[in-house]
Structure 1
Amino acid sequence: ATEILTAMLSGMLCTFKAIRCWTHRKELFEFLRQLKILWETANSNNFITDSILDTVLFARSLRNYLTYTCIALAVSYGFPAYIVLGSHLIFYRDQYFFNLSIIIYPVDYPFAINSYGVYFMCLLFEQVAELLAIVFWLCGDALFIQLTTHVYVQCMILVNRLHDINKIKIASYEENNKELADIIFRHHQLYLHCCWLQKFFSPIAFFVTLINGANLCFSLYRVDGEINEQNWSNLLINVLHLVAVLGQTVLYCKYADTLAEKFEEISYAVYYSNWTHCDKKFKTMMIMIIERAQKRYQFTIYGIITLNLLQFTRIVNAAMSYFALLRSFG
């Protein structure tokens, strides 16, 4: 029962993320277009440093590794059925009898599986369904990694511009004020981007924290049961599912926490920038951006739950507590 429940919880989460991305695809494409413009503008003005480029490349590599790992997990979910089938074809080929009830999912079909053709079609259907579930699983996670990375990279660019302001030889105070005005505009634009990310991903992050908390509890209970029963083949499946749920939760909390940290660095960069000797107009503009930057940004879910690494520890602690309670019931 717990195995079916964990599969249902993951399936519900995958379906919801796919629906969310599809129903808001126009807003998503518009947001991607704006990020593209920001990146091209930064690139044309030589604002992209090696550290910023390394950050973007790391996010891309993480996305690729995550995709490959999830696809491998989807394929490995059917290993018990593949192992039994492969063992029969290699070692017991001469025997006519084969248990056609060994399939990937613990489900009962409304028809009898009484031939190899029907059996292979069921295996193919279940494997394709598993791969589609992985695609739906990734559509929200990979997007969250990429979008938060691009937004906090723009925050890093803004911090570098604030550090460099008045350190380069600018022809006139007018150009100096123009540069600061553009920085103020970009800062406001980045704040709106952070708010859009929070609005778009709040439903997804809410279900990630809620469902994955329950999923961790039931997955731990299932792993504990498989160890006690010494069922090593099913243990591998449940351990992989547990790692996937845990990894997904920490990714959301980590990148939301990093986005908040990078946005907060702007306020420190504004305060410590070289502006005290400038003219009155420049100082007035600087005070404006200082006041605006003092408003701390936190990635919250509907303004109730703050998504950060501290929240991840709370989710894990809650899952462990309910796991201990569930285990005590036997």
Structure 2
Amino acid sequence: MWSYSRQLAFCIPQKIENFSRDLKFKMSLLLDESLKSIEFLFKYVGIYLDRTILNTAEHIIKFRSLYVMNFFWQNTDTIGGMLWIIQGALHGKSLTELTYIAPCSNFCILSNIKSLSLLLNEDKVKQLFKKLRNMENNINIGDDVVKKNIIAEEKKFLRAVLKALNVINAVTLILFSVSSLLFMGLEYKKSGQIELALPFPIIYPFNPFDIKYWPFVYMHQVWSTYLVLTQVAGTDCLFYTCSTSICTQFRLLQKDIETIIPERNFDENEFPEKFKKLAVRHEGIMQSVILMERIYTKSTLINFVTSSFLICLTGFNVTALGNIGSMLAFFAFLLMSLMQIYLLCFYGDMIMTSSMEVSTAMYNSKWYPMNAKTARHLYVVQMRAQKPSKLTAYSYADVNLKAFTKILSTAWSYFALLKTMESPTRA
């Protein structure tokens, strides 16, 4: 009995210590946990986010060849779709026929820009990962329930966003892949003959409806669709993950600032060191936002410019197309486009809001019994925090929810214009 009790007394503290260490580890690695799913998205595209790639022939062939192959694979369809639009406009194709491929070509160009922005800023992406990891690993959570709840809430919301985005992308891919098969089945039921169809009208240097080429062309378009959706989704998921990590750091910083001056047993000699650490953390978080801005600012500008056209054209196709399969595919595409640009603006807005709330946290700290010199330091940080850390579309516009409302407003104006252009042709 005594032996068992002694073993129990030895095991319990050890288990508690292990559990505490495991809890701290799980709480601190928000970035790495989310990167696993994002790396899976990029796996078959040929983008390696967290891998050191040397400028040697061996590494370039090993780690760049898949991306280059997929790039040419995808853009043969992109160029063919744009050529189809030009040829269709010259030969008097209807507005509905022209707008069928237009949003898809638009989205293809956007996916190219987003993926290339990551590759061209590969060093900055690695710097950002390093900064975020260091900040997450250096956070002392301990038994603070508020901090644990903050991290748990942010993780839960991020997981929900990533899952919803993956589901919508999967549904969009499936609907575009099977819509032409559904059309072929309905035509066969009506006429008893098989009329070959493809997901997208694209010009090729051969007849794609020849039975010798049709299966290859069909799979070519399906894989191109997968590449486009994956590149946009992967780049955006990385944006959401880094934004969540930054917002979590801002919220944890707010908690530490509010409690930096205890009600009792305040030691003025210890305060400067504590305050200095918080100021360094604040500067580190703001530097992370600057790195994100450099990585995403140009692709975000293209995203803002194209989103109004994308939402407008996709919404027009949902209302104008008579094929139920195509309507469902474009409806899923519309939801995905709306969700994509909304989340981009939403997370940009979160960064701005959480950065400005540091000023409120400083005001809520018990600064009033402090001496004039210390209060002055607190005031400087408070005033700096009132200038928000923010992401921009290449300084053209701030990335926040106001930008989203402007995009929707512009898209609706374009949509109304298209409907008025469609009416005379139907009449």
Match of 1:309 in 2: 401
Identity %: 20
Is the contact made by 1:52 and 1:156 (CA closer than 8 Å) also made in structure 2?
no
Query: Aligned partners of 1:69 and 1:203: how far apart in 2?
Result: 26
Task: Provide the residue aligned with 1:73 in structure 2.
Answer: 172
Native 8 Å contact 1:21 1:139 kept in 2: no
Aligned to 2:347: 255
| Aligned with residue 98 of structure 1, among 170, 194, 209 | 194
Distance 1:233 1:166, change over 3 A: same
* Alpha-carbon shift at residue 252 of structure 1 (Å): 1.0
Aligned 8 A contact 1:56 1:150 in 2: no
Alignment of 1:60-139 (within 5 A): 60-84=159-183, 98-100=194-196, 102-113=197-208, 118-139=213-234
Equivalent residue for 1:35?
A: 132
Does the Cα contact within 8 Å between 1:256 and 1:299 map onto a contact in 2? yes
Q: What is the distance in 1 between the residues matched to 2:228 and 2:174?
A: 12
CA distance in 2, matches of 1:113, 1:311: 42
Structure 1 contact 267–290 (Cα < 8 Å) conserved: yes
Aligned to 2:357: 265
Within 2, Cα distance between the matches of 1:86 and 1:218?
Answer: 27
Instruction: Mark the CA change 1:326 to 1:144 in structure 2 (over 3 Å): closer, same or farther.
Output: same
* 1:148 aligned residue: 243
TM superposition score normalised by structure 1? 0.89
Cα separation, 2, equivalents of 1:114 and 1:327: 32
Change (3 A) 1:6 1:277: same
Query: What letter matches 2:125 in structure 1?
Result: L
Distance 1:170 1:121, change over 3 A: farther
In structure 2, the CA distance between the partners of 1:225 and 1:84, relative to structure 1 (3 Å rule), is closer
TM-superposition CA deviations, 1:7-44 (whole Å, max 9, x none): 11110001100100111112101211110111111156
Q: For residues 36-72 of structure 1, what are the alpha-carbon distances to aligned partners after superposition, in whole Å with 9 as ceiling and x for unaligned?
A: 1111111566663213222123213311331232122
List, as ranges, runs of 4+ consecutive aligned residues in structure 1 with deviation greater than 4 Å: 43-47, 84-89, 113-117, 168-171
Higher relative contact order (CA 8 A, sep 6+): 1
Contact between 2:128 and 2:292, CA under 8 Å: does it hold in 1? no
Distance 1:72 1:216 in 2: 18
Residues of 2 paired with 1:260 and 1:284: CA distance? 24
Q: Cα RMSD over matched residues?
A: 2.4
* Residue ranges of structure 1 left out of the alignment (5+ in a row): none
Which of 80-89 and 62-71 deviates more?
80-89
3-state secondary structure, aligned to 1:22: helix
**3-state DSSP class of the match of 2:341?**
helix
Counterpart AA for 1:308? N
Distance in 2 (alpha carbons) for counterparts of 1:142 and 1:132: 15
Distance 1:207 1:115 in 2: 37
TM-aligned CA deviation for residue 177 of structure 1: 2.0
> 2:166 is matched by which residue type in structure 1?
T
Give, in angstroms, the shift of residue 213 of structure 1.
Answer: 0.7
Structure 1 residue 184 displacement after superposition: 1.0
Structure 2, unaligned runs of 5 or more: 1-97, 423-427
